[in-house]
Amino acid sequence: MSIGLLGRKVGMTQLFDESGVAVSVTIIAVGPCPVVQRRTISTNGYEAVQVGYQAERKAKKVTKPLKGYFDKAKVAPQKYLREFRLESTEGSNYSVGQILTVGLFDLGEKVRVTGITKGKGFQGGVKRWGYRGGPATHGSMFHRAPGSIGASSFPSRVFRGHHMPGRMGTDTMTVKGLKVVKVIPEQNLLLVRGAVPGPAGGLVTISKRG
């Protein structure tokens, strides 16, 4: 339970550590993220802050209730909103209208990153679940088909959750324990060791609870 920010995955590259070993890192453009709302134990029953990201919404695309919501916080309309639960003692550290930047993260800190994986469309069982497939030669006519999915007499049905062809990707995934390798406040960039879910340009959530 800790504060976090929103950003976009830029891509991957590599850096050399102190011993000269090449390290794969993901570049994330983080924030700046204004605090849009605070939730308190006395009012809402829990402690949290709501932050926004990307103040690039056109005025005509913001509904009147939503415009009033942002005007009350004295914050420009944001494209994305996310809420982060906090410990009871953390809430007083943040106030509505406060701008949170990539400087929130420290070098060497462990973070967790949540994103939406790349969409791969409708896929068969071999690619989606790793089916071995049938013989490749001798006219078997059975190469990548799913094959039998259940017995006929008993139980006369297909068990729930059976692996079948279907939509693959576009799932929300969280990677924990990614180490912050470099912070570039001037460009709002955060470099973390390892891979981050989603395509380049995809929206990600970076949380301090590694």
Mean pLDDT by 10 residues, the chain (210 residues): 90 89 94 90 90 80 88 89 86 86 91 95 95 90 89 87 94 94 93 94 89
CA pair distance 137, 45, nearest whole angstrom: 65
Q: Is residue 12 within 8 Å of residue 195, measured between CB atoms?
A: yes
Q: What is the pLDDT of residue 210?
A: 62
Q: At 139, is the secondary structure helix, strand, or coil?
A: coil
CA distance 84 to 112: 13
Helix (H) and strand (E) counts in the chain: 3, 12
Predicted TM-score (pTM) of this structure: 0.84
Alpha-carbon distance of 47 to 65, in angstroms, equals: 24
